[in-house]
Amino acid sequence: MFASAGRLAGKRLFEIRQIFAQSHPQLEARSSAFRSFSTALNYHIDSPDNNPHVTFDFTDANKERAKEILSHYPSNYKQSAVIPLLDLAQQQHGGWIPVSAMDAVAKIIEVAPIRVYEVATFYSMFNRTKVGKYHLLVCGTTPCMIRGSREIEATLLKHLGVKRNEVTKDGMFSVGEMECMGCCVNAPMITVADYSKGSEGYTYNYYEDVTPKRVIEIVEMLRKGEAPPVGTQNPLRKKSGPAGGNTTLLGEPKPPPCRDLDAC
């Protein structure tokens, strides 16, 4: 009896999926992987620009910064600096960390390279494959998804003519997905990691309340080298306030009633 019930349930589930796929053909086609993983492969494949024999070295300015980062930690806990140093390497190397950069970080913090690989593969913010000068990260978590982040991503991908985690031919843009970045009140949002100016001019900006139309404008502004205004893109809103101005708390807030000291 259980078996037949189970089969029935499975069949029903399949039907629901079919219906869903028919009503959102575009969505189903895009999330073709059954379980999508945010990161790339968890192992390294040698390529001409990414193999252990490519030399990677921090620039002189970044060597100073690395020294400064290491000074934050006790000398016997150098390995604590692994994340800031990987971040620095990523900024210097145009937004991604080749395996030789991980080896270089391992040398600085005096651990086995595998301990750095573990950290670099764990955090999805570390890119281990090439990204564009402007890495566009679309938030895909529930509030943003409800407010249309999937359309945002589809628009970006269509406009740039790439797939997710692919770089445009001119090397300018790549689109990735990031989980909740804490802007749910201004959903949907995208983040632009700007690696075009190295680690000195590196920025990581939030563009909130975006619409499919607005993200294309933002991309085009970035392409021209302009700096789109960060924060909410809804002209009616100010930061995370309500559209059209405040509706409550307009006057001076009343102070809390004083405790009746005599009652004690």
Contact residues for other proteins (CB under 8 A)?
A: 10, 13, 34-35, 37, 39, 42-44, 46, 52, 99, 111-115, 117-118, 121-124
Write the single-letter amino acid at 129.
Answer: T
Q: Please state the closest distance from residue 192 (CB atom) to other proteins, in A.
A: 24
> Which residue's CB is nearer to other proteins, number 46 or number 217?
46
Q: How many helices (H) and strands (E) does the chain have?
A: 9, 5
Q: Please state the closest distance from residue 43 (CB atom) to other proteins, in A.
A: 5
> Which residue's CB is nearer to other proteins, number 20 or number 123?
123
> Which residue's CB is nearer to other proteins, number 13 or number 221?
13
Cα→Cα distances 230→121, 122, 183, 207, Å: 30, 29, 13, 5
Q: Please state the closest distance from residue 92 (CB atom) to other proteins, in A.
A: 21
- H-helix or E-strand spanning residue 192: strand 189-194
Q: Please state the closest distance from residue 12 (CB atom) to other proteins, in A.
A: 11
> Which residue's CB is nearer to other proteins, number 106 or number 160?
106
> Which residue's CB is nearer to other proteins, number 55 or number 246?
55
Q: Please state the closest distance from residue 139 (CB atom) to other proteins, in A.
A: 18
> Which residue's CB is nearer to other proteins, number 43 or number 257?
43
Q: Please state the closest distance from residue 75 (CB atom) to other proteins, in A.
A: 16
Residues 6+ apart with CB under 8 A from 102: 86, 89, 113, 116, 117, 120
- Cis peptide leading into residue 188 (ω within 30°): yes
Q: Please state the closest distance from residue 15 (CB atom) to other proteins, in A.
A: 14
Expressed in angstroms, the distance from the first to the final Cα of the chain is: 69
The 3-state DSSP class for residue 205 equals strand
Q: What whole-number distance in Å separates Cα of residue 106 and Cα of residue 260?
A: 64
Q: What whole-number distance in Å separates Cα of residue 233 and Cα of residue 237?
A: 8
> Which residue's CB is nearer to other proteins, number 115 or number 238?
115
Residue 15 neighbours by CB distance under 10 Å: 10
Residues 6+ apart with CB under 8 A from 16: none
Give the CA-trace dihedral at 81, 87, 93, 96, to 10 degrees: 120
